[in-house]
Amino acid sequence: MPTLSRRAFASALPLGLVGGSLFGGGMIEGASALAATPATAKAPVSVTPLAQIRIGRFTVTALTDGYADMPYDYFPGRTAAEVEQAAVAQFTARAGGVRFLFNQYLVEDGERRILIDAGAAGSIGQTGQLPQALAALGLQPDQIDAVIVTHMHQDHMGGLILGGKNNYPKAELYIDRRDVAHWTDPAKRSGAPDYLQTSFKMADEVVRLYPRLQAIDGEREIVPGVSIVDLTGHTPGHIGVRVQDGGQSLIMVSDMIFPVVHPGATDVFFLFEQDPAAAKAMRDRFFPRAASEGALIAATHMPFPGLGRVVADHGQMRWQVADWALQN
């Protein structure tokens, strides 16, 4: 093996890395000179609303609906201070809490277009961008053949309704029967806390506006290569979607994984979680299995495009962002 002299190695590195700090004086000055330009400091940066990968014959497009910052005290199992400390350690702390993205996924096989989740549609935080993201692909909502809603929380089904109307008029709608039953039950609604009332109200509207709603029972194939995975816990009928073809697969796990706290621990939850014991059991089962299989995962609230893997790193589970771009 050829040896590289220290001098030759150093000459191959950018100047700022040699014999000193990564943030040499020159770099800092350059950065502040850029930031000081008033026009660029205030102008919004452009955001890419979509990211595509191929899974066999399928094209899967991550589409953003926007974001919301979740207060640090929304994570039962840890104190607000502990969650904030973890966010600071991961360089993701925001003034309002932990930043949650809202990622939806469009699955296309050249014939059918299946949308997984419909976004919060402005019902929470800075959301409501899914229609523009679809338009960036050249698509209107009436070109969507099916929508799979992973569970009936407002941030996953809000976009089904627009101005009191069915926003996907040609789509079959698939939701797990346990969620449909739970979220349309008046007794459950009256006993639920305030922060869940919007989801109950939306669930009633969705059932009324989508007569083609198909309540699904357990794991099944929706079309060849696209199937439902039971991930009950977060809600009674919380499901994932597996896309599989040609030896490749992707599993969209919805709210199985929340940023900052998962997959490092399973005894920490999100406020909206229906049944913490069941949610913990689901994550205890799923995280080690995903790590051993190296499963490619799509997760709603992870940083856009939400694609990554659970990896076991010296016995500690962590999220590894998938190197998704330019894979051909």
Residue type, 248: Q
Site string for Zn ion, 232-271 (x = CB under 5 A): -----------------------x----------------
Query: Minimum distance between the CB of residue 255 and Zn ion, rounded to whole angstroms?
Result: 4
Nearest alpha-carbon partner for 19 in 29, 11, 30: 11
Considering the complex, what minimum distance in angstroms separates the CB of residue 301 from Zn ion? 6
> What is residue 72's three-state secondary structure?
helix
CB of 243 to Zn ion, least distance (A): 19
Q: Concatenated DSSP letters for 163-215? A: TTEES-TT-EEEEEHHHHHHHT-HHHHHTS-GGGHHHHHHHHHHHHH-TTEEE
For Zn ion, the closer CB: 58 or 183: 183
Complex with Zn ion: residue 83 or 139, whichever CB lies closer: 83
User: Please, what is the minimum distance in Å from the beta carbon of residue 297 to Zn ion?
Assistant: 15
CA–CA dist 291, 276 (Å, integer): 22
Comparing C-alpha atoms, which of 190, 191, 102 is closest to residue 154? 102
Residues 6+ apart with CB under 8 A from 23: 16
Q: Are residues 251 and 296 in contact, defined by beta-carbon separation less than 8 angstroms?
A: yes
Nearer of residues 155 and 179 to Zn ion, judged by Cβ:
155
Size of the site for Zn ion (CB under 5 A): 2
Contact between 65 and Zn ion by CB under 5 A: the answer reads: no
**Helix (H), strand (E) at residue 51:** strand 50-55
Interface with Zn ion by CB under 5 A: which range of 58-66, 129-137, 155-163, 166-174? 155-163
| Count of CA atoms in the C-beta half-sphere (13 A) of 228 | 23
Q: How far is the CB of 117 from Zn ion (least distance, A)?
A: 8
Closer CB to Zn ion, residue 139 or residue 253?
A: 253
CB nearer to Zn ion: pick between 257 and 291: 257
Q: Among residues 155 and 176, whose Cβ is nearest to Zn ion?
A: 155
* Residue 273 sits in the site that holds Zn ion (CB under 5 A): no
Per CB under 5 A, does 155 bind Zn ion?
yes
Residue ranges in contact with Zn ion by CB under 5 A? 155, 255
